[in-house]
Chain A
Amino acid sequence: MNIYKRSGKATLLLATGLAAAVSLTAGIANAADEVVMAVPTFLTGAGAPAFGVPARNGAELIIEAINKGTLPAPYDKSGKGLAGRQIKALIYDESGGGAKQVTEFRNKVQKQGVDLFVGYISSGTCAAITPVAEELKMLTIFPICGTPRIFEEINTKPKYVFRTMGHATADGVAEALYVKANMPNVKGYTGINQNYAWGQDSWRDFDLAMKQLMPSVPASEKAQWPKIFSGQYGAEISALMLSKEKLVHSSLWGGDLEAFIFQGSARGLFRKKQLLFSVADTSVYRLGKKAPAGAILGARGPYGIFAANVDTPLNNWFRKVYLDRYSVPPVGGSYQAAQGVLAAKYAYDKAAAANGGKFPSKDQVIAALEGATYQGIAAKVHMNRSNGHQAATKHMIGVLQWDKEKGEPIMTKVTEFAPDCVMPPSGINGTEWLKGGMKGAKC
């Protein structure tokens, strides 16, 4: 078999080629007067329409406005760019799982000379990126991903990684508080959550919070766990309609949520049961009249539809330019991504000011952001958890209705929760905090 033989010369050739390839060092050719910001977000796959693309749009708008210096107050006096330098944005796809994203993170840092990251939507990617970001000493701002594990387990003393919104525990607490206040006579609750990390965490936190706040109200033993992206909910809807519990908790999002709503509406599910959707704001504008009026809704904080009536120059500007350009109003992901980019704007400018107007070093930027309170698009962001790296913001829950006059969905019966009411205090694990009776919550 001659294919096994005579390959020595070729192997030698290969060795030389490899040696040549590896001796190339990273050729970074970014201009000195710009800041390279990598923005990973879902551009393909199921995460794109619900979170990825709205997040990209939100980030894009803010980056452009920062570069042109057209942001309204309170960012109108700080000049163009980040501490005077233009942002060069590298927007790329987050699809493909943790391993691929870690590889890509290293590529972006070492090959393309990225100065900071603002992005990542999936909790799985954030969890994979955190250790690498710390290892490579790369300023990384997570604007969206929800898992509390980032700073509770993976890195309890972060230096380079920040998250600029509240984590998933806050969602569960706010939902349970809302139920307690508005449905005091509820007899029990069940749920339909996708069988993957986000769905499992959402149900666990809501369930734990309910057990503390309404200990006499039992959870159903038959909460539904459809496979993620299954899209067919016939049997689940039957089971929910036959269950005795009135309240149904659901963290479905995107295509799954919309399919569930179509199939549920056709069968009258939403007339029979009180639904509580923890992230359904991503779909309400798109669904329009098809969105189930009367459902309790969250947006993981004061974002998207909850910010529709916030009358500040920044929010009015954001909603207007977003609607003009993308012909839909901004949703949660758009706000959250924009909020992440604003953290960079705030930190660079503040650090430059403290540095006598000169462009700040990375450590100075980090010091400026640690523990800071800055203005997001529609709410104040308090970076006051996990050594000043984890944000707390207020949280909002309400009931969805259709406004006939305006012809758009609106939120009614909205309750606002203070940041310290729904987020666990610094230094305690969210699950333990819930199990221990949410000590130190200031509501």
Chain B
Amino acid sequence: MRYVDKTVIGLSIAFVVLVFADFFMAEWMRFIGLQSLARGAVALGLLVLWRTGLVSFGHALYFGFGAYTAAMLTLIGFHDAFFLVFAGTLSAGVLAFLLGFLLRRYRAIFFALLNMAFSMILYGVIVKTEELGSTDGFSLGPPTFLGYAPEGEAVQTALFLFTLVFTYIVTVGVHLYMKTTLGSMSMAVRENEIRVEYLGYSAEKVIHVKYVFSGLVAGFGGAIIALAIGQVDPDSMANWTVSGEFVFITILSGIGNVGATYIGALVFELIRTYAFEYAPQVWQFILGGSLLAIIMFLPDGIWSLFSRFRKSEG
């Protein structure tokens, strides 16, 4: 059983626990959990990129593209979550595939910023499109699940389960992929690209594959958030600050483990929620302050807390 390691077991246990928890959770907690899963998935894509040494400040592009694709399909009568999320994921993936030809040539801060530039173009297009509600965005009704049409709280319960299944599959898939030869190549690209090429691998191809993957999961996250909130708007879907939040989550989580991105996303949502609740006038201060504290004192992200715990135990 070479595919089953402790991370897979851990993720599977978390999956089963959460499936049961879905039916007992307080509604607000489930909603935060749902958002954490969706944003965590986007961060997972960024994590994969980060392992090759690349960081994108523009993944709101794919997030927004996935969200708007799903939302626009509801306008012409599609409401099935499977189809909407599939379409949102795929469309973002195709976009990433196309832009990837250009972007894979760039590294470091240039890569980060070119992504941001493209995301701003999408933002501008949405703002200018009055048919799509411009900055107000537009709403989409509750989704159906292969004919099952839940109402009220059941929508969120079903959506949570739906998201959980897919994020579980994707996360385990990413974890296993990382262990393959091509997957291990990412660290090598990060360390020294030219040497990778001398070994006979194309660094650009490695990057392109990862870029498309990150686009796919960002589109997935966007489509899920669109369904969960029932509304798309450019400021929460495609603005550069949204991209910043994804990088925030990635750094919060650290590079250590694929599961960590979801904890990072959860911690992010909780910081924001409580800052809003207890300090409504200075929530940005608290958010920024926590980020600074993590950068300064937890350079490897929250995951390093777990690692420390393990070390002290061993």
Residue numbers of A with Cβ under 8 A of B are: 1, 3-16, 18-19, 21-26, 43-44, 91-93, 96-100, 102-104, 106-107, 109-112, 122-124, 127-128, 130-132, 135, 147, 149, 153-154, 195-198, 200, 204, 228
Contact = CB atoms under 8 A, between A and B. Distances in A.
B138 A12 contact: no
Contacts of A98: 137, 229, 231-233, 235-236
Contact of B231 (A16, A26, A102): A102
Given A6-B6, A92-B276, A147-B136, A103 B35 contact: yes
Contact of A44 (B21, B133, B281): B281
Nearest to B20: A19
Given A19-B21, A98-B137, A11 B13 contact: yes
Given A19-B21, A131-B231, A9 B26 contact: no
B127 interface: yes
Contact of A3 (B18, B35, B256): B256
Given A14-B306, A93-B281, A195-B127, 13 more contacts: A6-B6, A7-B7, A8-B6, A11-B13, A22-B18, A97-B233, A98-B229, A98-B231, A98-B235, A104-B273, A127-B136, A154-B139, A196-B135
Given A7-B256, A103-B32, A107-B277, A97 B239 contact: yes
Nearest to B31: A106
17 contacts: A7-B6, A13-B309, A14-B259, A18-B14, A18-B21, A22-B24, A22-B29, A92-B276, A93-B276, A102-B229, A102-B230, A103-B269, A107-B273, A110-B28, A128-B137, A132-B229, A147-B136
Main secondary structure of the interface of B (DSSP, over half): helix
Contacts of A26: 26-29
A123 B13 CA distance: 43
Interface in B20-55: 21, 24-33, 35
Contacts of B196: none
A12 B5 CA distance: 12
A228 B239 CA distance: 14
Given A1-B187, A92-B280, A103-B31, A11 B26 contact: no
A128 B130 contact: no
Nearest to B275: A93
Contacts of B276: 92-93, 104, 107
Across the A-B interface, the 5 shortest Cβ-Cβ residue pairs = A8-B6, A11-B10, A97-B236, A99-B236, A97-B235
B134 interface: yes
A128 B231 contact: yes
A12 B32 contact: no
Contacts of A10: 10, 257, 303, 306-307, 309-310
Interface of B: 5-7, 9-11, 13-14, 17-18, 21, 24-33, 35, 127-128, 130, 133-139, 141-142, 152, 155, 175, 178-179, 184, 187, 225, 229-233, 235-237, 239, 255-257, 259, 263, 266, 269, 272-273, 276-277, 280-281, 283-284, 303, 306-307, 309-310
B14 A11 contact: yes
B21 A22 contact: yes
Nearest to A225: B128
A339 to B, nearest CB: 23
Contacts of A111: 26, 28, 277
A43 B281 contact: yes
A102 B225 CA distance: 11
